[in-house]
Structure 1
Amino acid sequence: MAKRILIIDDEEHIRRVMRMTMEAAGHEADEAADGYRGLEAFGDGSAWDAILLDQKMPGMDGLETLRRMKERNPSARVIMVTAYASVELAVDAMKLGATDFVRKPMTPEILRNAVTAALAKPIVAAPAAPEPTSQKATTEVPPISRLTLNGFRFWIDPDVAEWQRREPYQRRFVVQHPDGRQQDVVVEVDPAAVGFVERTAKRRLPIENTFWNALAERRLNQFLWNEGKVPPAGTLTIEPRHIDRDGVQMATAWER
């Protein structure tokens, strides 16, 4: 059954590509060139099954447009479209009730995946605030299992403690594809990365520390965001070259 998709983006060619992709997938689509016109088209939200909302727009940006949409209709399915993803953006968007993100520029397949995943979610009202996380650093880390990146979700394997006893340098995750299929993905920490963090952060964070869980989440998160697909053979590694300045700062401030 065709769904109705509202596209809000200030770039005409991006709107056109999105609309053609949605119509080719069997959906109905309409466009708005900025946040103000998007809100006018949105109305009370009841006419739309999902909204593709650009984050960076002149005038009213995506987060403010999202906030006003959620005031009118807390259960609206809004997919944030952005080339400027960050933990801070994810946290702010989650506070407003958005958990779906798609990277810009995107391929038609990635866009279809993101919309398919969003439409598959039950309609629920936005939470008052993000759920707490057991891992802490200077920046609040959003609960990974609530985020959908280019149509993919993932969470750490429930048997992580047992897995790490057997394979201490591995972190195992479950990745859910846009069509609902689930797949195991392993992120392996190169021992050289542990030494690199110790030298650059000037503190010891042994492999059993929860810091490496968070860094493995970050590595998988970045891959899904940048590539829009599951890693080949279901494996990734963390080598010293994967630990950037933000990773070092994260290690320096890690509390556990």
Structure 2
Amino acid sequence: MAKILIAEDEDSLRRFVSRALKMDGHEVDEAVDGAHGLDQLREDTSYDLLLSDIRMPVMDGIELAHTAAEEFPELKILLMTGFAEQRERAETLASVIVDVVPKPFSLPDIRSAVAEALTA
């Protein structure tokens, strides 16, 4: 299974996704914002996937994705957002991310998106 970092500022959603992915056998770590996520990526370079919200305080998911893709070119990146304008901003990242998952999503939706991102 994969090692996944979730960067999401909404506690309940981050924990929900983390539990679901752990049930699928993945090793999952959590970050409360993009800056925290980037620190974790730099401390542990063995992540297979970064699953990040786009709209977060301190450092948003767009900036996190750009920086992570530059520093860790083998890392797969999957973004999440509930805002249409944020999804449009993510289109500029097409070369560095796998996809953008729209919120709200169901448990099967996020599991499927993660599975597809890991095999992409």
Shift of 1:5: 0.7
Q: Which amino acid aligns with 2:37?
A: G
Distance 2:99 2:68 in 1: 15
- Equivalent residue for 2:11? 12
Tell whether the 8 Å contact from 1:10 to 1:34 is kept in structure 2 after alignment: yes
Report how many aligned residue pairs link the two structures: 119
Residue aligning to 1:103: 102
Mapped to 2, the partners of 1:44 and 1:67 lie a distance apart of: 18
C-alpha distance in 2, partners of 1:103/1:91? 13
Partner of 1:63: 62
RMSD: 1.7
TM-superposed deviation, 1:44: 7.0
**Structure 2 equivalent of residue 76 of structure 1:** 75
Distance 1:90 1:33 in 2: 20
Residue in structure 2 matched with residue 48 of structure 1 by the alignment: 47
Cα distance in 1 for partners of 2:44, 2:84 equals 25
Q: CA deviation at 1:45?
A: 6.5
The residue aligned with 1:93 is: 93
Unmatched segments (≥5 aa) in structure 2: none
Distance 1:94 1:78 in 2: 10
SS at match of 1:112: helix
Inter-partner Cα distance in structure 2 for 1:45 and 1:31? 13
Equivalent AA in structure 2 for residue 78 of structure 1: I
Alignment gaps of 5+ in structure 1: 122-256
Hey, which of these two has a bigger chunk of helix by percent?
A: 2
**Equivalent pair of 1:5/1:49 in contact (CA under 8 Å):** yes
CA–CA separation in structure 2 for the residues paired with 1:89 and 1:114: 20
1:171-186 pair list within 5 angstroms: none
1:26 and 2:25 matched: yes
For normalisation by structure 2, the TM-score amounts to 0.90
- Partner AA of 1:88 in structure 2: E
The percentage of aligned residue pairs carrying the same residue is: 34
Shift of 1:84: 1.6
Which of structures 1 and 2 has the bigger CA Rg? 1
**Residue aligned with 2:19, SS:** helix
Query: Aligned ranges for residues 148-187 of structure 1 at < 5 Å?
Result: none
Q: CA deviation at 1:85?
A: 3.5
Q: Against the structure 1 CA distance between its residues 108 and 32, is the aligned structure 2 distance closer, same or farther, given a 3 Å change threshold?
A: same
Quote the Cα distance in structure 2 between the aligned partners of 1:40 and 1:79: 18
8 Å contact 2:76–2:98 — kept in the other structure? Answer: no
- How far off is 1:100 after superposition? 1.2
Q: Residue 44 of structure 1 contacts residue 73 of structure 1 at CA under 8 Å; is this kept in 2? A: no
